[in-house]
Amino acid sequence: MTVDVFLTRSAAYLPFSPVSNDEIEDVLGRIGGKDSRARRLILRSNGIRSRHYAIDRATGKVAMTNAQLTANAVRALGEDIGPVGCLATGTSMPDQLIPNHAVMVHGELGWPRLEAVSLAGVCLSGIAALKYAWLAVRAGDAQRAVATGSELASPLLMASNFEAEIAHKVDALEARPEIAFEKDFLRWMLSDGAGAMLLECAPRGALSLRIDWIDLSSAAHELPVCMYAGADRAADGTLQGWMQTPSSQWHAQSIFAIKQDVRLLNENIVRATVGEPLRDIIARRGLRVDEIDWFLPHLSSHFFAQPVAQCLEDVGLPIPRERWFNNLAQMGNTGAASPFIMLDALIRSGRLQKGHKLLMFVPESGRFSSGFVHLEAV
């Protein structure tokens, strides 16, 4: 027997003050001591105007861990949430390989014994954590569960991480110091933040959101890796992980940098994460455009807004732009945290009314996975 599950509280945590576009290299540093030639082009395309980094500008040092970021978001849910039976966390970049992110967050919180589960991935890992928490409450295994999405990207984006690669290229090629576009691209796309959601088996307060369903899918059966870290492309195009790479090359090739195949992304992201999975969901779930009051798309860049809108029209779900809600421009692309931060902002905006139905869309380009969440305000 399953029960209805309600999102009764949400919270977001963004570290330090916002960083404007002109301040990014002052915070992250300049690779090879030079301004990036790609920065202005990428920022003009992605539409992000400010973001947050967990970097203390006074010292230039990273001031908190991913686990601490996440715990801060959970604490923002309030001290009166009651005992929690399940903590499910999602992040692209935990602070360490072992142990998992969830137990580290649990340790930061100091809560009593509970089920702590960590979901891996990229942007979709937060929604995977939300699904795990939702299923735990729905099945009766937990009366109350907390799901989180978080990212601490800035330590990997700092210029100091690329100095060894610059030195290697200068020695080997005597070329102008610069890193590959696939690495530089993401320095202007990603930032830090965390979000948390409390799920319960009954509504609480003036307005809660009933979670009707969460559908996740992967296109890895047909598409290669597009976004990756801790690995590099081998000569034959396959992905070679850090364990198969000589340690002497880890720094020289910036193995642990986050990399993106932009061409592959642009050619496939809309078809593989919107069009194909949504056609199936429309057929199975009976989705109708007149029954969607809010569409919350996680966009890595405003560049994709029009292609997504066109794809919605093509599949028979032409949601008008006035029903879209997105805060990428103000909060930046925080990966697994973005859907949490976006939904929290809508909830706090006062624009949600009883009976409103929400459709959230979360893609990730790791190997083209997709997630859709349907909720109703009650």
Last residue of a domain, one of 155, 173, 207: 207
- Give the total number of structural domains in the chain: 2
Is residue 103 assigned to a domain? yes
Domain check: are 157 and 303 in the same one? no
Domain check: are 308 and 357 in the same one? yes
The helix (run of H) or strand (run of E) holding residue 39 is helix 39-46
Mean of all residue pLDDT scores within the chain: 92
Domain check: are 35 and 175 in the same one? yes
> Would you place residue 173 in the very low, low, confident or very high pLDDT band (cuts 50, 70, 90)?
very low
Q: What is the CATH number of the domain that holds 322?
A: 3.40.47.10
What is the pLDDT, as a whole number, of residue 167? 44
Mean pLDDT across 149-173: 69
Domain check: are 16 and 87 in the same one? yes
Domain check: are 234 and 119 in the same one? no
Domain that holds residue 159: 6-207
Residue 187: C-alpha distances to residues 40, 108, 274, 300 (Å): 12, 28, 25, 13
Is residue 1 assigned to a domain? no
Domain check: are 27 and 171 in the same one? yes
Instruction: Encode pLDDT of 208-255 as tens digits.
Output: 999 999 999 999 999 999 999 999 988 888 999 999 999 988 888 888
Is residue 279 assigned to a domain? yes
Domain check: are 175 and 304 in the same one? no
pLDDT at 180 over 70: no
Domain check: are 45 and 194 in the same one? yes
Question: What pairing do the DSSP bridges indicate for beta strands 227-228 and 259-260?
Answer: antiparallel
Instruction: Encode pLDDT of 321-343 as tens digits.
Output: 999 999 999 999 999 999 999 99
Last residue of a domain, one of 142, 177, 207: 207
Last residue of a domain, one of 192, 207, 222: 207
Residue 121: C-alpha distances to residues 46, 86, 97 (Å): 22, 20, 13
Question: What pairing do the DSSP bridges indicate for beta strands 55-56 and 193-200?
Answer: unpaired
Instruction: Encode pLDDT of 271-314 as tens digits.
Output: 999 999 999 999 999 999 999 999 999 999 999 999 999 999 99
> Would you place residue 114 in the very low, low, confident or very high pLDDT band (cuts 50, 70, 90)?
very high
Range from 39-53, 87-101, 364-378 carrying the lowest mean pLDDT: 39-53
Domain check: are 195 and 218 in the same one? no
- pTM of the predicted model as reported, rounded to 2 decimal places: 0.93
DSSP string, 293-326: SEEEE--S-GGGHHHHHHHHHHTT----GGGB--
Domain check: are 180 and 196 in the same one? yes
Is residue 83 assigned to a domain? yes
Domain check: are 45 and 140 in the same one? yes
